[in-house]
Amino acid sequence: MSIIQSLRTSKQSGKKSIAILIDPDKVEEPANLNQLINLASENCVDYFLVGGSLVTTTNLSDVVKQIKQNVTIPVILFPGNSMQIDSSADGLLFLSLISGRNPELLIGQHVIAAPVIRNTKLEVIPTGYMLINSGRTTSVAYISNTMPIPDDKYSLAACTAMAGEMLGLQAIYLDAGSGAEKEISARMIAAVRKAVNVPLIVGGGINTTQKALKALEAGADMIVIGNALEKDPELLIEIADKVYEWNQSAAG
């Protein structure tokens, strides 16, 4: 089953997913990554996302390879730009930054990347990427040169997601930015959830089990956790446990 099909099926059955974000720039030692890969496998993590706003090292491919060599968890590229493409991953979030008005990130980089992607077997997942203000300027807001949607403009976010869905985007990713001080509020997630039917991915600043559960309860189908696991990989055990319980009760 394709990744998008699997996300849709999970959404329909109420099953929630966990993705771990690996920013290649922040992987100091392969051993640290191995620890996280093993924890992910033991705790039934659904996906790895690999990418970042600014990858200054050349080890994106090494990170993808290391995950693929050790586990069967699908690896999805989460590219900050058209240079972050690696054919050994399973899929790629083809992100259109629909919360912003920077043509480069709405279509420009896509034109450059399209022929490269066409020569790979990557599953392309057209995704509406929406930045939500998290209190301070995040790397992604700065690098993308876009203004995030204010965190109390629920209708604006809902209509943006709605337009993305009408344009044919297959998933919506609500992001407060990596290491965000403030995670996206339940009210914001619920407003977007109500507006669209496509799978809803939520990330940025999820650094406790409570925040993870709050995002899922508000309507996220998949949560993305990066920063918090770089600091404390074992947090994954508690979060995965709760998500497992949730999925068990949803399955009846």
Provide the 8-state DSSP code for 233. T
Interaxial angle between packed helices 186-195 and 209-218, expressed in degrees from 0 to 180 and rounded to the nearest 10: 30
Instruction: Report the chain's C-alpha Rg in angstroms.
Output: 17
Work out how close the CB of 49 gets to ligand 1GP at its nearest, in angstroms, rounded to a whole number: 8
Shortest Å distance, C-beta 231 to ligand 1GP: 10
Question: Binders of ligand 1GP among 215-244, rule CB under 6 A?
Answer: 224-228
Pick 18 or 228: Cβ nearer ligand 1GP: 228
With CB atoms as reference, the residue minimizing the distance to ligand 1GP is: 203
Query: Residue 167 has which token pair?
Result: 């344009």
Give the alpha-carbon dihedral of 210, 100, 27, 63, to 10 degrees: 110
Task: Please report whether residue 180 would count as binding ligand 1GP according to CB under 6 A.
Answer: yes
DSSP, res 84: -
Which CB atom, from 126 or from 179, has the smaller least distance to ligand 1GP? 179
227 vs 127: CA distance, rounded Å: 22
**Smallest distance, ligand 1GP to C-beta of residue 67, A:** 17
Binding flag, residue 17, ligand 1GP (CB under 6 A): no
Give me the least distance between CB of 97 and ligand 1GP, in Å please. 12
The window from 24-32, 69-77, 149-157, 197-205 that contacts ligand 1GP (CB under 6 A) reads 197-205
From CA 166, how far away is CA 124, in angstroms rounded? 18
Q: How far is residue 26 from each of residues 14, 49, 79, 144, measured CA to CA in Å?
A: 33, 14, 15, 20
Total site size for ligand 1GP, rule CB under 6 A? 14
Return the number of other C-beta atoms located less than 10 Å from residue 77's C-beta: 25
Asked if residue 18 binds ligand 1GP (CB under 6 A), the reply is no
Of 21-60, binders to ligand 1GP (CB under 6 A) are 21
Of positions 128, 205, 219, 233, contacts ligand 1GP by CB under 6 A: 205
What span, in angstroms and rounded, lies between the C-alpha atoms of 239 and 16?
12
Q: Could you list the residues that contact ligand 1GP (CB under 6 A)?
A: 21, 175, 178-180, 203-206, 224-228
